A = this chain, B = another copy of it.
């Protein structure tokens, strides 16, 4: 559970609503169904038009990471990698064979399999880096779905405000309606800018941070597996991998 995420979203919304309340504003004026339809609908529409289907699904899946962050147990992995290196020095690479079946991370499993199959170090590196790059690129593309939404929502909020103002202008003759009309119009701006800055953009950035974290973790695993296949000294492997901590 990422309590910082929860805290952040709570503080952000409380600050806005609370500050407004302290200034004497009423919460009801900030609630406006049609404005929500315009801003949310327009933003979702733009992003659906923009995003290929599987990228959109991946984005929805990654959304979970904002509150339930994935874990990459680096310190633990270094320990295990060093023990693999020692095992390989004593029993040869084939001695790692029974580890493949037990490995749960599919990326590491693939690496171990390539190792056990006796591939050349540079082949192992190339294949794993291809996979890492391709996976990272896709995850980033998915994270950018929220970034795009955060780019669209303020401008669509402005469209909502301008549409509202147009209506108001049509009825300039009734000054009593003026104020509340403008008020309603402005709510779209708040929705658009607020949605982007209190939710969409920060979420996109948190997802990106997790993606970078995963890539660094995988990079560490590649270094370790390649070093084992090069028959490097377990102690040196440990020093090198500690650079990732």
A interface with B by C-beta (< 8 Å): 2, 4-5, 7-16, 18-20, 22-25, 29-30, 32-38, 40-42, 44-53, 55-56, 66, 69, 114, 119, 123, 126-127, 130-131, 134, 141, 148, 152, 154-156, 158-160, 162-173, 175-176, 178-180, 182-184, 186-187, 189-190, 193-194, 196-199, 201-203, 205-206, 209-210, 213, 216, 236, 239-240, 243-244
| A156 adjacent to B45 (CB under 8 Å) | no
With contact pairs A20-B34, A29-B167, A55-B209 given, residues A12 and B42 touching in the complex (Cβ less than 8 Å): yes
Q: Is the Cβ of A197 less than 8 Å from the Cβ of B33? A: no
Q: Is the interface of A mostly helix, strand, loop or mixed?
A: helix
Q: How far is the CA of A171 from the CA of B9 in the complex (A)?
A: 31
> Which chain B residues lie closer than 8 Å to A205 at the CB level?
50-51, 148
In the complex, the answer to whether B25 meets A38 with C-beta atoms within 8 Å is no
> In the complex the two chains form, what is the Cα distance from A142 to B76 in whole Å?
25
New A-B contacts (14) at CB < 8 Å, excluding given A29-B166, A51-B209, A130-B240: A4-B53, A12-B46, A16-B41, A16-B163, A19-B37, A23-B35, A51-B205, A52-B69, A154-B155, A156-B197, A162-B190, A166-B183, A170-B183, A172-B179
